[in-house]
Chain A
Amino acid sequence: MAELLRTQARKPKCYLLRPVTFLLIMLVLVFFGAGFLSPRSPVLWSRRAGAGEAGRESVGLQVVKLSRMVYPQPKVLTPSRKDVLVLTPWLAPIIWEATFNTDILNEQFRLQNATIGITVFAIKKYVVFLKLFLETAEQHFMVGHRVNYYVFTDRPADVPHVPLGEGRQMVVLEVPASARWQDVSMSRMEMISSFCEQRFLREVDFLVCADVDMKFRDHVGVEILSQLFGTLHPGYYRASREAFPYERRPQSQAHIPRDQGDFYYMGAFFGGSVSEVYRLTKACHQAIVADRANGIEAVWHDESHLNRYLLDHKPTKVLSPEYMWDEKLLGWPAIMRKLRYVAVPKNHREIRNR
């Protein structure tokens, strides 16, 4: 009797286990089946051009979510500046004081954790300008953002040690120096393009190429950043295109006819996304080499080639002469509400070719 009970008692357990397992397996199968049978959506994968470049490329083009901010309302019927042009005919902003709100722009770029690289060439005696350049850059250039200074020099021992803020670092790159100052200037294009490939593509999102014999006097921030930007030459912002000192000889690659040209851009301050700067510097370098092979040197060297390139590849932002000024030569006209990046007085004869 007890045996019978025991077997009977055991039986329900064994009897229950199998159906329950079966049911659980059915459950799992049904869910899998639902997944298989549900109408298929197209396979959608992110497009990636190339590992490093694609990751960097997206900065600046992303639409990021901003936090709540308080600022005055922009008024549709009230232009920000009535005395100057703020938009080129190809819809690129021309950056003047009062056209932009620093807070909004800072937040947009901070949210993307943008890193800005700035290249500066301190060849031969030009190393003396580095200290003032770096100190003023620490005060005014891209404050609050990640910055990499790339100092190209043939005298790495003479590079001053300047204390840098948080998120900012300096990289000293040793490069050979050409004998002639014109060649020093033009070789910058080659060096920047080769380092773009080697380092900049992986390390920074935006690249700014600046002259070293300058100092920052006022805010120069993320308002300048875009795919490709050039700066208006302070000596020619009033001039008509026939008076621009473009290269006028048709034999040169930098040739621009008298009836063409938008602005005269200065070779001392240009930049953009790393890939665009790479294309620009590579194209300019190739044009310089072609000219050299034809026994011609453009009238303003790399600046002439830069102007030719920017005529064909319109910049997406143009910086007003506030971003490139010489107070000694040009004074301080009312139209310049701020002087941001200005020339440091130097003795040309002494400093060049030494």
Chain B
Amino acid sequence: MRRHRLAIGLGVCLLVGTVLCTLWVYVEDWLPVSYVPYYLPCPEILLLFRGTVAHHTLRSTHSPLPAGQLHCIWASAGRTGYYEKQRPHHLADSRDGSNMKLQYKGEKLFQPVAQSRYPQPKLLEQRPTELLTLTPWLAPIVSEGTFNAELLQHIYQPLNLTIGLTVFAVGKYTHFVQHFLESAERFFMHGYRVCYYVFTDDPTAIPQVPLGPGRRLGIIPIQRHSRWEEISTRRMEIISQHIAKRAHQEVDYLFCVDVDMVFRNPWGPETLGDLVAAIHPGYYAVPRQQFPYERRHVSTAFVADGEGDFYYGGAVFGGRVANVYEFTRGCHMAILADKANGIMAAWQEESHLNRRFISHKPSKVLSPEYLWDDRKRQPPSLKLIRFSTLDKDTSWLRS
């Protein structure tokens, strides 16, 4: 009789397990906490050999996965329609703990520059340069006067690049989309192929804005959360998933910006780089001890007193799509770790972004011209404001 019960018990366990699995796979957000799946064993552990076999049948240019080299990537139940449960794959670089390799658009080679007439660069500058133009790790700090736009156009135009631009328009923020897109059509990467990716919980609220040739708009539905901080921190996760799903095949470079802003002046190929950050307009003249970094030790975004280069704004970052993927994934993992410890960083994802930019230095930095707050008085050192805030009543928006 005991053995009967044992058999029945096993059967019940099996049933419960199946139900949980099905629920987890097909129904999103049924768990009160979203990070639990990260601690569950990965069913793919059993797919090791199947994956190895599948490897051979797919169009792949490298050797099959050696047995034992298996990682699973977990995503919390975000409403993007799929989960990042990857098949086993070849690991070339798991330094970061990020182990998904994406097949990107083709690498662009150096092309000869068509001759253009421009003045000779003056090596022995006597004019008082107000802004720092080179970081200590030799990343250019881009501002008006540091570059020749026409020359850069000659260099980048022949490469036939496609640049992506992500924005999040959730809840009442959909009101900003019209003005944002219209200004982007005027000033953002003029003459290049552009893909706008608008993430929203209400696709019907996104207006139809006429787009120029070679420019298109993708509207991606996402889930709305009750707290605005939650929406903000989800952005890293959603961007990385979107790159994995779609953007890595469609664009060469990707920028992630806030929607409650407008382009006021040309934003061109001078901003393109491997990993690009923008200096926050409120803190460019301030010593690092006063930067609003996360200062609690328990957080993964913790920055010690003597650390930090610049305070970067969370409203603008970008770079090559591969690097943006690694960056957003890294931030997302850090945010999840904090969530598991029941802590939210002082400035949500901006804190995590800043933490990550200290240890993974950007290859190009944009001056506050590229991320300005119109409520501030424009100083003479910033010659041309290109991207700035739209005055808004935040309390109304976040309700």
> Is A76 in contact with B132, judged by CB distance below 8 angstroms?
yes
B274 nearest CB neighbor, chain A only: A61
CB within 8 Å for A39 and B306 given contacts A16-B6, A84-B124: no
**Which of A28, A37, A67, A263 is the one whose CB lies under 8 Å from B121?**
A263
Residues from chain A with a CB closer than 8 A to the CB of B279 are: 76
CB within 8 Å for A79 and B131 given contacts A26-B14, A87-B146, A88-B121: yes
Q: CB of A276 within 8 A of chain B?
A: yes
Which of A44-52, A185-193, A204-212 contacts its partner?
A: A44-52
> Is A44 in contact with B101, judged by CB distance below 8 angstroms?
yes
CB within 8 Å for A46 and B270 given contacts A20-B7, A74-B132, A89-B148: no
Residues from chain A with a CB closer than 8 A to the CB of B327 are: 63
- Complexed CA–CA distance, A19 and B9 (Å): 12
**Which of A101, A108, A238, A312 is the one whose CB lies under 8 Å from B113?**
A312
CB within 8 Å for A87 and B25 given contacts A32-B46, A44-B89, A261-B120: no
Q: CB of A332 within 8 A of chain B?
A: no
- Complexed CA–CA distance, A149 and B218 (Å): 52
CB within 8 Å for A93 and B138 given contacts A45-B89, A65-B359, A79-B131: yes
> Is B110 in contact with A228, judged by CB distance below 8 angstroms?
yes
- Complexed CA–CA distance, A314 and B363 (Å): 18
Q: CB of B39 within 8 A of chain A?
A: no
CB within 8 Å for A91 and B90 given contacts A64-B360, A77-B284: no
> Is B110 in contact with A276, judged by CB distance below 8 angstroms?
yes
- Complexed CA–CA distance, A89 and B60 (Å): 41
CB within 8 Å for A77 and B130 given contacts A84-B125, A89-B148, A314-B113: yes
Q: CB of B307 within 8 A of chain A?
A: yes
CB within 8 Å for A227 and B43 given contacts A38-B25, A73-B288: no
**Which of B85, B112, B306 is the one whose CB lies under 8 Å from A38?**
B85
Residues from chain A with a CB closer than 8 A to the CB of B125 are: 82-85
Q: CB of A34 within 8 A of chain B?
A: yes
> Is A39 in contact with B44, judged by CB distance below 8 angstroms?
no
CB within 8 Å for A90 and B152 given contacts A41-B244, A46-B90, A77-B132: yes
SS of A interface (majority): loop
Q: CB of B82 within 8 A of chain A?
A: yes
Q: CB of A158 within 8 A of chain B?
A: no
B120 nearest CB neighbor, chain A only: A241
**Which of A15, A44, A84, A100 is the one whose CB lies under 8 Å from B123?**
A84
Which of B92-100, B174-182, B208-216 contacts its partner?
A: B92-100
Of residues 3 to 25 in A, which have CB atoms within 8 Å of B's CB atoms?
Answer: 12, 15-16, 19-20, 23
CB within 8 Å for A35 and B47 given contacts A30-B14, A104-B361: yes
> Is A78 in contact with B152, judged by CB distance below 8 angstroms?
no
CB within 8 Å for A68 and B121 given contacts A41-B245, A63-B363: no
Residues from chain A with a CB closer than 8 A to the CB of B151 are: 89-90
Q: CB of A313 within 8 A of chain B?
A: yes
Q: CB of B68 within 8 A of chain A?
A: no
- Complexed CA–CA distance, A64 and B95 (Å): 9
Chain B: minimal CB distance from A118 (Å): 20
> Is A73 in contact with B287, judged by CB distance below 8 angstroms?
yes
**Which of B87, B148, B308, B364 is the one whose CB lies under 8 Å from A90?**
B148
Residues from chain A with a CB closer than 8 A to the CB of B11 are: 19, 23
Interface size on B, residues (CB 8 A): 101
A89 nearest CB neighbor, chain B only: B148
Interface size on A, residues (CB 8 A): 86
CB within 8 Å for A232 and B307 given contacts A16-B3, A76-B132: no
Q: CB of B304 within 8 A of chain A?
A: yes
Query: How does the 8 Å CB contact mask read for B111-130 relative to A, with 1 for contact and 0 for none?
Result: 11101011011111110111
> Is A35 in contact with B326, judged by CB distance below 8 angstroms?
no
Q: CB of B160 within 8 A of chain A?
A: no
> Is B62 in contact with A76, judged by CB distance below 8 angstroms?
no
CB within 8 Å for A71 and B136 given contacts A44-B248, A66-B359, A276-B110: yes
Q: CB of B107 within 8 A of chain A?
A: yes
Residues from chain B with a CB closer than 8 A to the CB of A263 are: 121, 123
Q: CB of B30 within 8 A of chain A?
A: no
Query: How does the 8 Å CB contact mask read for B49-70 relative to A, with 1 for contact and 0 for none?
Result: 0100000001011100000000
- Complexed CA–CA distance, A43 and B248 (Å): 12
Q: CB of A351 within 8 A of chain B?
A: no
> Is B134 in contact with A93, judged by CB distance below 8 angstroms?
yes
Of residues 173 to 207 in A, which have CB atoms within 8 Å of B's CB atoms?
Answer: none
* Most chain A beta carbons < 10 A, residue from B81, B86, B132: B132
Of residues 255 to 294 in B, which have CB atoms within 8 Å of A's CB atoms?
Answer: 270, 274-275, 279, 284-285, 287-288
CB within 8 Å for A74 and B121 given contacts A16-B6, A31-B43, A312-B112: no
B133 nearest CB neighbor, chain A only: A87
- Complexed CA–CA distance, A73 and B128 (Å): 21
Given contacts A44-B101, A237-B123, 7 further A-B contacts (CB under 8 A): A41-B82, A45-B61, A66-B361, A70-B306, A76-B285, A80-B134, A87-B147
Q: What are 16 inter-chain pairs, A to B, with CB distance below 8 A? A: A20-B7, A38-B83, A44-B101, A44-B248, A45-B61, A45-B101, A63-B275, A73-B287, A73-B309, A80-B134, A88-B121, A95-B138, A238-B123, A260-B117, A261-B120, A263-B121
| Nearest 5 A/B pairs, CB to CB | A46-B101, A101-B136, A89-B148, A312-B112, A76-B284
